[in-house]
Structure 1
Amino acid sequence: MATITFYGAAQEVTGSCHMVESSSFGRVLLDCGMHQGGHNVERMQKEEFEFNPNKIEAVILSHAHLDHCGMLPKLVNQGFCGHICCSSATQGLLGVMLRDSVGIYLSDLERENVRRARKGKKPLLPEYDDEDVVDTLALCKGVEYGKQVEVLNGLRVEFQDAGHILGSAIVSLFIDENNTSKKLVFSGDLGNKNAVLMKDPSIIEEADVVLMEGTYGDRNHRDIEDTVEQLKTILIDTEARGGNILIPAFAVGRTQEILFYLGTLHNEGLLKNWHVALDSPMAIEVTRVYDKWFRSLDQDEIQLATPLATSILEDFIPNLYLSVSVEESIAINRLKKGVIIIAGSGMCTGGRIRHHFKQRIWDSRNTIIFCGYQANGTLGRLIVDGKKHIKMFNDDFAVKAQIETLGGFSAHAGQDQLLDWLKGFKNKPSVVLVHGEPMALDALSTRIWQDLNIRVKVPARGESMVF
């Protein structure tokens, strides 16, 4: 018998972490992600593992978003030394993500300790550091899609394309014990079929248990054509007001797709009065990784839109300004109108987007566009929910900018797409829903019962199930 215990992304969207345990191979983790929202340092000091990292034999990653991999350096710091298995493209992205994450964390910790020193308090010690990131990356092993490999004695894994971001994977675990074999399929984050740079999620036909995400289990996204038209309208209206556009963007996936569509609008002549500033060192580095894999992405869509394109950064938007240094970021403030600023973080929990909010969120001529999911407790969620005053840098700011959401750019599958993927299984596997807020998971479980006659389990954090 094998057991799954849900330590994160259970009736919540972030912090993906699920332990699979068997007498044949011991304990492995599916993902090791951080929770998002709140103060970065406080969150990291409080976020403790509910298991012994020394007792984990391996980690299997679905993809490189921090809510799926961000706790790996802390896991290593506390004694984990097994293999980290992921897709080859995820391995390429992991170093970018973890180095950036530790840099932000240590900078925030330094500032926090300055404040503590002023109050006569002892400094906080880092939960992990750069050396832990180096050690983490040394444990990582990349595997090509469709290749079944043995992770441990009694445990094999195969990755298939999840269509979410570069390298994202649907994980199939083959568990061999007591002369029997069971198959657990973990969807990871399933992609939106509208995503221009990604292929559609692979269809899996057989499983004993399906562990499936339900981020958008209660709704569908707008068609991409309608979303692009909405973006055009926002550009026209904001230009007429003499304003600017701010886009909090996830460095992996969303940024690259936004750049692609801005490039298509440039080809239509709609960006002639706009400057585009990509103000995120990590997003720039990630986009260069995407460029390396560019020809393996969704070629039909790419060739239809830009037949001569060979690089997301160099070919799509001639007036693209890449901001790496702090000085380059500050220089964007000199542009008083006609600038589209794409900056991290996607949920506004940190990064340069908050500094741009400080400069522009109080101006009604400006527009803020949200293109991705905003988790509970994040600044992005507060703004999307209509909060008129927000707290940043120990100051209060009025939210007067126009707020828009472009759901069609989501990197997650909507409700119907989730159901379509689940219909691909020829048998009727047990279904467990994770990575979603309770209302979304309840709505999805109802649809699964109505459409597929399958009752699902929605586990709470810390709950276990035997299969």
Structure 2
Amino acid sequence: MPYPHILHHGAIDGVTGSCHQLKMDAHSSLLIDCGLFQGIDQKEGGGEITFSLEGVDALVVTHVHADHVGRIPYLLAAGFKGPIICSEPSAKLLPLVLEDAFKLVFSRDAHTVQRYLQQVRRQIIAIPFDQWFCVSESQALHARVRLQQAGHILGSAFVECDVRYPETETDQRFVFSGDIGASHTALIASPRSPERADILILEGTYGDRLHEDRKKRQALLEHAIDKALEDHGTILIPAFSLGRTQDLLYEIEDILHRKSLIVPGRESAGDDVSLPINWPQVPVIIDSPLASRLTEVYRELETFWSTDAQQRASSGRKPLHFRQLITIDSHAKHMQTVNYLSSTGRPAIVIAANGMCSNGRIVNYLKAMLGEPRHNVLFIGYQARGTPGYAIQKYGPRGGYVELDGENCSIRAGITTLGGYSAHADQSGLLSFVSGMNSWPKQIHLVHGEISAKQALARELTKLYATQNLPVDVLIPTSDPQSALQSQQFDKQR
């Protein structure tokens, strides 16, 4: 088999399990991400590593969402002892995420967890953005990587990998996009394109649609909370602990700040729920110990925030630590909060993990509140096929039901989806990521997306290249090799 070439070990039939292997020669390769399969993408055997680790020199992490790093505990259990290369913010966040994953799957024993985390920290190598790092150097092969900000979550990066063969004086540049952020994110800087790529591995999560703009999404969020205040209901927001939660807090703080200038707050009404409650008093509850810990790290990494976010903080505002913010740690306090909000008319905003409603504390809220029309479930993130979140989103508006913890729960609560809060680039953003390069890739692999989204993006990419009279091979890898060939030919014909 000729070198270099790419093997895809996940995120080819859906949007989870990102893991790509760059085989540089017969003895050396790199892994880019090692994510968990979720929802309908889940495999038998859980997250066990089913490919050989022989010759894997390093793991390069684009960002620390579970669908990109959730299989790392299995990777270490399979014997991987090489470096885990990531950005400086990701190096702070990764141990927290992996600790949570380890406890869920392997052990909650404190000593076992600590030994595991010590091993993780020994293997992590944090590299600054925009600096080359050598990963392999021999007489036959020189390879280096560079991380550039991807604008998805704090610390997220796309990976540039230069592979050079001195004996033949040939070289190629691979770019692995990871997850490209939306251009309208406020807390972190928007993504920029790499200067060039020969081969691009590009995500296609929203390759078939466009997002609402930021002003519209904030107006819709404000309207949803206004309705909750009127209905004396709770807004349940299933959110990933990392990235989406912090972005949402940043947006809510902005609304609360503006509202407090228009409607001055009054003294708390205590527990008398017969009294009206206005915006300055509405509690914003983070019910996720992991989300609370990650938010603390976000605050510590303020130097990596966007310029606008840093200016807001320097003016005295606390975008991630405002007065109405309540964090809940213990399970007992969590259940007390669920019971209180479900049995009273006190409006509240609850942000709880996990983002696709498949497990975590959001499930208890849903079981208690889905059957009541005064409550509202607000989706701000992608719901993968096969997850309860997908079922609620699809069947909720029809008055259907969803299975949670083996129970069929009727859906009477309002169901709202705000697409503008996606942390992924939409079709326009993905096309701009390519067109912003000085030298466009000759080959593009579309991964991390449903087949319809990737096919739509493939068509738009071929149209884009046609405007410049440039050739391109757009490949849609799949677990069915024949389907991959058909996809390649389909795109060439366009």
Matched residue, 1:120: none
Mark the CA change 1:300 to 1:347 in structure 2 (over 3 Å): closer, same or farther: same
For the 8 Å contact 1:275–1:319, the answer to whether it is kept is yes
Q: Which amino acid aligns with 1:367?
A: N
For the 8 Å contact 1:287–1:312, the answer to whether it is kept is no
For the 8 Å contact 1:419–1:448, the answer to whether it is kept is yes
Q: Which amino acid aligns with 1:91?
A: A
Match of 1:7 among 6, 9, 20: 9
Matches within 5 A, 1:130-169: 131-153=115-137, 154-169=142-157
1:67-117 deviations in Å (ceiling 9; x for gaps) = 00111111110111111111111111101101112223358x99xxxxxxx
Distance (whole Å) between structure 1 residues aligned to residue 27 and residue 157 of structure 2: 22
Shift of 1:452: 2.2
The answer to whether 1:358 aligns with 2:367 is: yes
Matched residue, 1:396: 408
1:326-357 deviations in Å (ceiling 9; x for gaps) = 12212212133311110000111211100111
Specify the SS of the correspondent of 2:280.
coil
Matches within 5 A, 1:343-422: 343-387=352-396, 388-422=400-434
Specify the SS of the correspondent of 1:329.
helix
Shift of 1:310: 6.2
Match of 2:461 among 423, 431, 448: 448
Q: Share of identical aligned residues, percent?
A: 32
For the 8 Å contact 1:38–1:349, the answer to whether it is kept is no
Distance (whole Å) between structure 1 residues aligned to residue 356 and residue 106 of structure 2: 20
Matched residue, 1:206: 196
Specify the SS of the correspondent of 2:13.
coil
Matched residue, 2:160: 172
Distance (whole Å) between structure 2 residues aligned to residue 379 and residue 138 of structure 1: 37
After TM superposition, the score normalised by the length of structure 2 is 0.85
Q: Which amino acid aligns with 1:161?
A: Q
For the 8 Å contact 1:86–1:140, the answer to whether it is kept is yes
Specify the SS of the correspondent of 2:154.
coil
The CA RMSD measured in Å over matched residues stands at 2.3
Q: Please identify, of 216-225 and 263-272, the stretch whose mean Cα deviation from structure 2 is larger.
A: 263-272
Shift of 1:173: 0.4
Mark the CA change 1:367 to 1:380 in structure 2 (over 3 Å): closer, same or farther: same
For the 8 Å contact 1:448–1:455, the answer to whether it is kept is no
Shift of 1:129: 6.8
Aligned residues: 442
Specify the SS of the correspondent of 1:90.
helix
For the 8 Å contact 2:186–2:308, the answer to whether it is kept is no
Mark the CA change 1:151 to 1:311 in structure 2 (over 3 Å): closer, same or farther: farther
For the 8 Å contact 1:363–1:401, the answer to whether it is kept is yes
Mark the CA change 1:248 to 1:263 in structure 2 (over 3 Å): closer, same or farther: same
Shift of 1:45: 3.0
Specify the SS of the correspondent of 1:182.
strand
Shift of 1:439: 0.3
Distance (whole Å) between structure 2 residues aligned to residue 35 and residue 235 of structure 1: 33
Matched residue, 1:324: 329
The answer to whether 1:308 aligns with 2:315 is: yes
Shift of 1:54: 4.4
Matches within 5 A, 1:227-238: 227-238=217-228
Mark the CA change 1:92 to 1:306 in structure 2 (over 3 Å): closer, same or farther: closer
Shift of 1:47: 3.6
Distance (whole Å) between structure 2 residues aligned to residue 92 and residue 239 of structure 1: 38
For the 8 Å contact 1:165–1:411, the answer to whether it is kept is yes
Shift of 1:358: 1.4
Q: Which amino acid aligns with 2:18?
A: S
Specify the SS of the correspondent of 1:171.
strand
- Where structure 1 has 5 or more consecutive residues not aligned to the other structure, the ranges are 111-127
The answer to whether 1:251 aligns with 2:241 is: yes
Q: Please identify, of 186-195 and 418-427, the stretch whose mean Cα deviation from structure 2 is larger.
A: 418-427
Specify the SS of the correspondent of 2:364.
helix
Shift of 1:49: 2.6
Matched residue, 1:458: 476
Mark the CA change 1:294 to 1:306 in structure 2 (over 3 Å): closer, same or farther: closer
Matched residue, 1:64: 64
Matched residue, 2:25: 23
For the 8 Å contact 2:188–2:304, the answer to whether it is kept is no
- Where structure 2 has 5 or more consecutive residues not aligned to the other structure, the ranges are 261-277, 467-471, 486-494
Q: Which amino acid aligns with 2:83?
A: H
Matched residue, 1:113: none
Matches within 5 A, 1:8-157: 8-23=10-25, 26-37=28-39, 45-106=45-106, 131-153=115-137, 154-157=142-145
